[in-house]
């Protein structure tokens, strides 16, 4: 692009180009893109001086321009958000009386909430998607404009768009931005793609009910979920992944494998563990206890309800009350179901004065806590109202801090590998709502950073992701589909020791503050179990399986032999059962495969006579005839509990 004759011009340095671009003030990134070569394919937007902008945004000052494609996280979000507007346009055309709420991009797609007279149907979804394709084919220009806030309120009031009016009335900005495409206009910060023709590959996925602003007292809206991708191949790959995720859904597998249930009549978000689910949980808990004892932890137990004064002192009522249940008045004093275990562990520590020689002291508890979650956010085992944390608190001297944090990281690494998870680590810094001095927060954050650096493992920064009393290290699990789940967390706390006056006697005989580490290495048992079910698709490794061995009889004549085998296996601490139904052996094998049993032992007439077994491994792998000793050795090796090298 040549230099203009006007004395006014802007100079734009474009990523990937050696020479800057000169143009009139108001030149757009789209004009620059169309006039140059060598840019990446599929450009959706740009960064100008670090700010994400539309390709049509006029540039009025000198600066640096960088192209954004759908491969960039910002580009992915723009693609999703633009497709959300395309969906909302289709809905308003097909349902003229619809009321618009919100339509944000989410991690793997988008949704929009609508107020409608009657719920959408699957047939409606097909019509909406078809209309979206028509409007994408029309290549409607997407134009940004602004409106004074008061004028925008009047505009939406005239259209009887009550949800938009409510949003606007809470905005302080004097001016509000809008985006228009064809006959559709929506209030939005943007940015968006230049025209609807950019949006070629999308799919509407589902319909759900959603309360306005997540409040059960507000209107119920209809939420349409969708996804999109820059190519049909990428879209199909995601849809295939989605189908696989449905097959792995822990709620579906929980029913099929009879692991747990949640009952509306008992209360949403409260889990009932069935025998098979309880067996898995018991194996995990026993493994957890043994590893903690090996690592110098002492097991403790505290009550489920505690007095209000304790939560005032801890700061929970000040900073966490919205997540706590209403108080229970007892003898004129308010008690709360505990949302955390830390105040109780502090009380145990303070029952006697501790010497520097006593530290570190590590308390561990599988402690059940209760936290309020809105009903719309509850999700099987992954988001519940009552759950058991594998909680622990370490009380140590400041000079022991790095060693203790490093020990926690090593323990968590072993636990994650034992259960077959890869993971990523994050350093979460001070949130907006927090307590304590800047100096304490800086010291705590830098201590955690130093511990992470020593591991040599990569980590990311989660700005503002800490808890109200301190920064933390979060470990995100990676499952078999590459999805991330919240796992272990390690929180450094200088604040609660101050609030509770938690001290030790140092070498010089003076009282000194302890440093407190809050940590979990699994997270909540409920969420960890949900993750585990989906990771393994219900086919747990033999050491975790609720039933490790199923003995299959061919006829009733082998039942005495099968019962004797069952008795021997149980004596060897193998979880087993006998299928003595009057069914064909092929059917019994298929049923055992469907139940994801790791090992099947077939006992027929010959096996019973010879004291042998036909051994099959999950996955229809026939291992042939084995003696009792051979079969037991194979089962015990397959079922070994993980140990450290």
Residue 512: closest CA among 405, 398, 404: 398
Q: How many CA atoms lie within 13 A of 169 on its CB side?
A: 9
Phi–psi pair at 40, nearest 5 degrees = -70, 155
Annotated catalytic residue within 56, 85, 316, 393: 393
Does 389 participate in catalysis according to the annotation?
yes
Q: Output the CA torsion 71→76→78→80 (10° steps).
A: 140
Does 232 participate in catalysis according to the annotation?
no
Annotated catalytic residue within 192, 371, 397, 626: 371
What is d(CA 632, CA 268) in angstroms, rounded to the nearest whole number? 43
Helix (H, G, I), strand (E, B) or coil at 117: coil
Please list the alpha-helical segments (H only) found in 501-620.
Answer: 525-536, 559-571, 585-594, 605-610
Percent helix, strand and coil across the chain, each to the nearest 5:
35, 30, 35
Annotated catalytic residue within 113, 391, 479, 579: 391
Residue 634: closest CA among 621, 620, 611, 617: 617
Annotated catalytic residue within 135, 279, 342, 576: 342
Does 576 participate in catalysis according to the annotation?
no
Q: How far is CA 56 from the centre of its chain?
A: 36
What is d(CA 588, CA 594) in angstroms, rounded to the nearest whole number? 10
Annotated catalytic residue within 276, 338, 518, 527: 518
Residue pair 545/597 in contact (Cβ under 8 Å)? The answer is: yes
Annotated catalytic residue within 389, 400, 491, 548: 389
Does 39 participate in catalysis according to the annotation?
no
User: In the 8-state DSSP scheme, what is residue 379?
Assistant: B
Residue pair 129/203 in contact (Cβ under 8 Å)? The answer is: yes
Residue pair 502/349 in contact (Cβ under 8 Å)? The answer is: yes
Residue 250: closest CA among 484, 530, 527: 530
Residue 84: closest CA among 219, 215, 231, 184: 184
- The residue whose two tokens read 């003898």 is 331
Phi–psi pair at 193, nearest 5 degrees = -70, 160
Residues 6+ apart with CB under 8 A from 494: 436, 440, 443, 444, 470, 513, 515, 516
List C-alpha distances in Å: 247 to 330, 535, 538: 47, 11, 10
Burial group, residue 289, by CB count within 10 angstroms (0-12, 13-18, 19+): middle
Residue pair 312/363 in contact (Cβ under 8 Å)? The answer is: no
Does 371 participate in catalysis according to the annotation?
yes
Does 263 participate in catalysis according to the annotation?
no
* H helix or E strand, kind and range, residue 11: strand 10-14
What is d(CA 385, CA 372) in angstroms, rounded to the nearest whole number? 6
Annotated catalytic residue within 57, 85, 430, 472: 472
What is d(CA 431, CA 319) in angstroms, rounded to the nearest whole number? 11
- The residue whose two tokens read 């051994």 is 615
Residue 528: closest CA among 491, 489, 488, 490: 488
Residue pair 466/431 in contact (Cβ under 8 Å)? The answer is: yes
Strand segments, DSSP code E, in 123-276 are 142-148, 175-181, 184-187, 202-211, 220-228, 260-262, 271-273
Does 512 participate in catalysis according to the annotation?
no
Residue 415: closest CA among 299, 295, 530: 295
Q: Which residues are catalytic?
A: 342, 371, 389, 391, 393, 472, 518
């Amino acid at each position: 692009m040549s230099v203009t004759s006007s004395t006014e011009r802007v100079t734009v340095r474009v990523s990937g180009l050696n020479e800057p671009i000169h143009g009139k003030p108001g030149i757009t990134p789209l004009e620059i893109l169309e006039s140059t070569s060598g840019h990446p394919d599929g450009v959706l937007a740009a960064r100008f001086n670090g700010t994400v902008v539309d390709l049509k945004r006029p540039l009025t000052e000198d600066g640096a321009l960088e192209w954004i494609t759908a491969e960039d996280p910002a580009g992915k979000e723009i693609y999703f958000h633009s497709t959300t507007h395309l969906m909302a346009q289709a809905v308003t055309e097909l349902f003229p009386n619809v009321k618009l709420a919100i339509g944000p991009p989410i991690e793997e797609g988008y949704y929009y909430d609508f107020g409608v007279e009657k719920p959408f149907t699957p047939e409606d979804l097909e019509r909406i998607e078809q209309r979206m394709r028509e409007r994408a084919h029309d290549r409607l220009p997407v134009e940004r404009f602004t409106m004074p806030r008061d004028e925008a309120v009047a505009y939406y009031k005239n259209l009887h768009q009550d949800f938009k009016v409510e949003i606007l009335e809470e905005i302080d900005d004097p001016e509000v931005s809008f985006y228009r495409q064809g006959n559709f206009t929506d209030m939005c910060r943007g940015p968006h793609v230049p025209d609807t023709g950019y949006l070629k590959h999308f799919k509407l996925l589902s319909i759900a009910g959603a309360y306005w602003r997540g409040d059960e007292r507000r209107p119920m809206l209809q939420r349409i979920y969708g996804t999109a991708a820059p190519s049909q191949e990428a879209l199909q790959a995601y849809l295939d992944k989605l189908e696989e995720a449905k097959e792995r859904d822990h709620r579906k597998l929980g029913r099929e494998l009879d692991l747990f249930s949640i009952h509306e009549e008992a209360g949403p978000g409260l889990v009932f563990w069935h025998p098979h689910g309880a067996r898995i949980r018991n194996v995990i808990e026993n493994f957890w206890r043994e590893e903690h004892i090996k690592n110098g932890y002492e097991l403790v137990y505290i009550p489920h309800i505690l007095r209000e004064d304790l939560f005032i002192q801890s700061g929970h009522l000040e900073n966490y009350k919205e997540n706590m249940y209403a108080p229970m008045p007892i003898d004129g004093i308010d008690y709360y179901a505990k949302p955390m275990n830390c105040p109780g562990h502090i009380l145990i520590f303070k029952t006697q004065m501790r010497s520097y020689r006593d530290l570190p002291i590590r308390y561990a508890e599988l402690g059940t806590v209760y936290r309020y979650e809105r009903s719309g956010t509850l999700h099987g085992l992954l988001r519940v109202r009552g759950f058991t944390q594998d909680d622990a608190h370490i009380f140590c001297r400041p000079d022991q801090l790095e060693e203790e944090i490093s020990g926690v990281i090593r323990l968590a690494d072993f636990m994650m590998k034992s259960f077959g998870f890869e993971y990523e680590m994050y350093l979460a810094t001070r949130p907006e709502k927090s307590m304590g001095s800047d100096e304490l927060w800086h010291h705590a954050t830098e201590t955690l950073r130093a511990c992470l650096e020593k591991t040599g493992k990569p980590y990311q920064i989660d700005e503002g992701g800490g808890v109200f009393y301190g920064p933390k290290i979060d470990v995100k699990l990676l499952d078999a589909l590459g999805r991330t789940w919240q796992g272990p967390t390690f929180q450094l706390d200088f604040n609660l020791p101050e609030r509770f006056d938690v001290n030790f006697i140092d070498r010089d005989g003076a009282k000194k503050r302890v440093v407190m580490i809050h940590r979990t290495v699994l997270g909540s048992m409920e969420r960890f179990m949900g993750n585990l079910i989906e990771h393994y698709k219900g086919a747990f490794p033999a050491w975790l399986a609720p039933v490790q061995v199923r003995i299959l009889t061919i006829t009733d004549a082998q039942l005495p032999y099968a019962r004797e085998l069952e008795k021997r296996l149980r004596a060897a601490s193998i979880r087993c059962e006998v299928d003595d139904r009057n069914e064909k052996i092929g059917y019994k094998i298929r049923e055992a495969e469907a139940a994801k049993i790791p090992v099947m032992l077939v006992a027929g007439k010959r096996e019973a006579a010879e004291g042998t077994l036909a051994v099959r491994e999950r996955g229809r792998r026939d291992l042939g005839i084995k003696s009792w000793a051979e079969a037991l050795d194979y089962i015990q090796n397959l079922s070994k509990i993980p140990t450290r090298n």
